[in-house]
Amino acid sequence: MLKYTTDHEWLRVEGDVATIGITPYAQEQLGDLVFVELPSLGARFEQGGPAAVVESVKAASDVFAPVTGEIVAVNDKLTNEPGLVNSDPTGEGWLFRIKITDKSEVDALLDEAAYKAILD
């Protein structure tokens, strides 16, 4: 099950690790991505802090950490294939994985219905 932020990130939680990416809506708004700047392994982020950057021909946009934690994996494929975020934003286009420090932060995020409601 995916959770969402009002900044258009999604996360999929498995145990105490969350996989993070940008939503289909966000990638549509940005257009074709040409560059993705990923965080370093071991980097720590507070919830809401900028963790990555996605850049299209239109604009560059920060990707915020939806939860507090430590980066345990990054999607290295995006270095050479940033378009994966456009073609499969909630699958192969994931950005990074973060080990969650405080699981209660996940509970406060949006479910799919609440996220869709903010898009309308």
* Per-residue model confidence as pLDDT tens digits over 54-108: 999 989 999 999 999 999 999 999 999 999 999 999 999 999 999 999 999 999 9
Give the residue numbers spanning the domain of 78: 2-102
What does the block give as tokens for 115?
């996220």
**118 inside domain:** no
The enclosing H or E element of 52 equals: strand 50-56
- For the domain that residue 76 is a member of, what is the CATH number? 2.40.50.100
Report the distance separating Cα 58 and Cα 82, nearest Å: 14
Distance CA 18, CA 51 (A): 14
Give the global pTM. Answer: 0.96
Domain membership of residue 111 (yes or no) is no
Give the helix/strand (H/E) hosting 51: strand 50-56
**Count of domains observed in the chain:** 1
**For residue 42, is pLDDT > 90?**
yes
116: amino acid identity, one letter: K
The answer to whether position 108 is within a domain reads: no
pLDDT at 1 over 90: no
